[in-house]
Amino acid sequence: MTEEEVFEHEATCFLERHACPRAPEELRWGEGPEELTIFHETTGAAEQREVEEAKRWQATRWQAGFGWICGPPQYGGRGLPASFDRIYRSVEAGYAVADLSPLRIGLSTVGPSLVVNGSDVQIRRFAVGVHAGDIVACQLFSEPDAGSDLANLKTRAVADGKVWRLSGQKVWTSNAQFADVGLALARTDPDAPQHRGLTAFLVPMDSVGVQVRPIRQLTGGASFNEVFLDDVEVADDLRVGATGEGWRVALSTLSTERTATGDRSHALTGRGFRLLRTLARRQGQGDDPAVRQALAHLHARLEVARYHQLRIQAAAYGEGEGPPRAMDKLLLAGNLQAIGEVAARLLGPKVAADTGEWGTYAWSRWLLGATGYRLGGGTDEILKTMIAEKALGLPRAPS
Ligand SMILES: Cc1cc2nc3c(=O)[nH]c(=O)nc-3n(C[C@H](O)[C@H](O)[C@H](O)COP(=O)(O)OP(=O)(O)OC[C@H]3O[C@@H](n4cnc5c(N)ncnc54)[C@H](O)[C@@H]3O)c2cc1C
In the chain, where the domains are located: 138-245, 265-391
Query: Does the annotation count 257 as an active-site position?
Result: yes
Pairing of strands 137-140, 181-187: parallel
CB of 172 shorter than 6 A to ligand 1: yes
Q: What's the whole-model pTM score? A: 0.93
* CATH number for the domain formed by residue range(s) 138-245: 2.40.110.10
203-207, 250-254, 387-391, range with greatest mean pLDDT: 203-207
> What pLDDT was estimated at residue 330?
93
> Is residue 52 over pLDDT 80?
yes
| Ligand 1 in reach of 236 Cβ (< 6 A) | no
- Give me ligand 1 centre to Cα 379, in Å: 6
pLDDT for the residue 311: 82
Name the closest-CA residue to atom 3, ligand 1.
Answer: 376
Q: Whose CA is nearest to atom 1 of ligand 1?
A: 376
The band of 318, judged by pLDDT with boundaries at 50, 70 and 90, is: low
Any atom of ligand 1 within 6 Å of the Cβ of 255: no
- For the segment 324-340, what is each residue's pLDDT rounded down to a tens digit? 888 999 999 999 999 99
142 Cβ below 6 A of ligand 1? yes
CA dist list (Å): 261 to 109, 110, 205, 223, 327: 10, 13, 24, 16, 12
**C-alpha distance from residue 183 to each of 66, 137, 249, 325 (Å):** 25, 7, 10, 22
pLDDT at 136: 98
The superfamily (CATH) of domain 265-391 is Butyryl-CoA Dehydrogenase, subunit A, domain 3 (1.20.140.10)
User: 257, 319, 321, 389: which is the annotated catalytic residue?
Assistant: 257
Ligand 1 nearest-atom number relative to CA 141: 11
Residue 264 has pLDDT above 70, yes or no: no
Give the closest residue (by CA) to ligand 1 atom 16.
376
Write down the pLDDT at residue 316: 59
Backbone angles phi, psi at 370, to 5 degrees: -60, -35
Range 231-256 average pLDDT? 94
Ligand 1 centroid to residue 74 C-alpha, Å? 36
The residue-averaged pLDDT of 237-253 equals 96
Nearest partner of 250 among 157, 116, 130, 342, judged by Cα? 116
pLDDT confidence bin for 255, thresholds 50/70/90: confident
265-391 matches 138-245 in CATH topology: no
pLDDT of residue 169 exceeding 70: yes
At 387 the pLDDT is: 95
Say if ligand 1 is within 6 A of residue 173 CB. yes
